[in-house]
Amino acid sequence: MNIYTHQRCLDHDTGAGHPEHAGRLAAILDALRTEFADALTWCEAPLGDEAQVGRAHVPAFIDLLKRNAPAHGLIRVDADTVMSPASLEASYRASGALCAAVDAAVLRNERGFCAVRPPGHHSTGNEAMGFCLFNHVAVAAHHALAAHGCARISIVDFDVHHGNGTQDIFENEPRVQFVSSHQSPLYPGTGRASERGVGNIVNGELRPGSGSDAFCALWSSTLLPAVDAFAPELIIISAGFDAHRLDPLADLNLDAADFAWITTELVRLAERHAHGRIVSTLEGGYSLAALRESSVAHVRAMMRCHRLPD
């Protein structure tokens, strides 16, 4: 199991009091090193190149981020999205981590978790928002299409917030399925079940206060069968852990066992349809205790093999 990360992802500074801070990633890295010791392969996240990032984002947007990247201090891209001197490289490293993880999955059947920040799933093709600059899962899916000729890719998002950017980028791309569970109503206000794209978008809404029973029922009845029917050749997970009951920014009541369960189910689908090819990246999650236990549960589930007989 590969873990992709980079110091620049820790250096990305969002300022005092911002919920998406470097301590989130530090807590995850410490938990994974403590829990798994030498059982993981630690990989330095490479820089995503311009061609990779440019498949998901329009040139004017990339140029805007480059022009506004500060040499010192902080700037706000929007009300809650911040750039520091390290932020642009951190974003390129995060996107590069996902592309490297896709390469390892497709070419060598290796699984990977990208312990990176800033997160990405709110960034559209031409707009940064919701703590996100580049949309790393979108960059990775486009890379799988272009570099590896994948014909069917499922992006699965269980962050408590809807991945509006990912949906925006792929809503007219039938080769990429986007499947999401999220609290509704909640930021960013998208993700209705009626939003279907070209038949490739599957949204599942969870009411505030929902817990394990509602989460498992939604995935078992609707979302997992949709992934199964799509029969993806690669699964990419947007792993947000902010649906945890301890998270301060939302109102769902999941725990680490729920993240272990959904990860196990996705691994089984990857084994059934994609030769086990599955990669994951960190999105949200703002309780350090929840991040530690949830990331350990997620990675442990990804490490287990559930290959079905041929």
Per-residue model confidence as pLDDT tens digits over 294-303: 999 999 999 9
Give me the domain span that covers residue 154: 2-303
| Residue entry with tokens 């925006």 | 168
**Domain contains 308:** no
pLDDT tens sequence across 172-224: 999 999 999 999 999 999 999 999 999 999 999 999 999 999 999 999 999 99
Separation in Å, CA 193 to CA 180, 197, 205, 290: 10, 11, 7, 28
- What backbone torsions phi and psi does residue 287 show, to the nearest 5 degrees? -100, 125
Bridge partners (DSSP) listed for residue 237: 156, 280
- Over residues 140-157, the mean pLDDT reads 98
| pLDDT above 50 (res 61) | yes
The answer to whether residue 310 sits within a structural domain is no
Q: Per the domain annotation, does 145 fall within a domain?
A: yes
Query: CB under 8 Å to 131, separation ≥6 — which residues?
Result: 14, 20, 80, 81, 118, 119, 122, 284
Total domains in the fold of the chain = 1
CATH of residue 93 = 3.40.800.20
- 62 within domain boundaries: yes
* Cα–Cα distance measured from residue 109 to residue 103, given in angstroms and rounded to the nearest whole number: 9
283 within some domain: yes
Looking at residue 306, its pLDDT comes to: 52
For residue 204, the SS3 value is strand
Q: Is residue 131 part of a domain?
A: yes
Q: Is residue 251 within 8 Å of 243, Cβ to Cβ?
A: no
Single pTM value for the model: 0.97
Catalytic residue IDs: 122
Residue 171 lies in a domain: yes
Evaluate whether residue 132 is within a structural domain: yes
